[in-house]
Amino acid sequence: MSRIPVHKTDQCYKRLRRFLFMLKRVVFVVLLTLSQHSIAETGQPGLSSEITNGKRLYEQYCLTCHGVNGVGERPIPKYIRAPGFLTAMPLNEASHAWYHSDEQLIEAVLNGLQRTQRMPAWKGILSEQDARLIVAYIKSLWSPRIIACQGPKHMSCM
Ligand code: HEC
């Protein structure tokens, strides 16, 4: 039985280590890319899986006020509206939801709005990931042009 010389096993070991080092880097880059793609970003549409899941959550928690397809609540005439009562604005492109970045929309969903108790903080009921999915769904109600103009860019797009 021929034995492998020590210096050869040493070389093999070094090669293996180099290979594992490269493999780790490749895995890291792949995971980083995947993780970036699985998060909807301002100015980019969400993935279809995010939109489907976001729609389900929207219908469960938001539809009662913000309406089917985000059309918003029907305006209530001032003379019968309680002072300070705000109706839920549309979240489709008819109102200015698209002036906000994804992060601002997520912040509004999780922490609610100062100006009205009617829009509650959903933190505790919805996770940040849930809010992201809902935002991906809301963005699916916007045209590609509006999505491209989302957030701080809206000023130069008008
Ligand atoms: C009980 C009614 C109600 C429910 C349920 C509700 N909202 Fe609202 N929402 C409001 C009201 C009222 C406002 C504020 C309107 C205003 O400021 O003129 C608002 C405002 C918002 C805004 C701010 C939009 C902007 O352009 O500033 C976002 C985003 C929003 N809601 C998302 C959601 C999401 C997502 C859900 C479900 C998780 C939800 N809302 C559930 C009533 C509701």
Whether 51 and 69 have beta carbons less than 8 Å apart is answered as no
Mutation test residue for ligand 1: of 63, 113, 115, the one with most atoms within 8 Å of CB: 113
**Domain residue ranges in the chain:** 48-157
Q: Average of pLDDT values for 19-25?
A: 83
pLDDT value at 6 more than 70 = no
Confidence of residue 38 (pLDDT cuts 50, 70, 90): very low
The pLDDT score that the predictor gives to residue 25 is 81
Which one is the CATH code of 48-157: 1.10.760.10, 3.40.190.10, 3.10.129.10, 3.40.50.170? 1.10.760.10
**Residue 116, strand partner residues:** 113
CA 111 / ligand 1 centre spacing (Å): 11
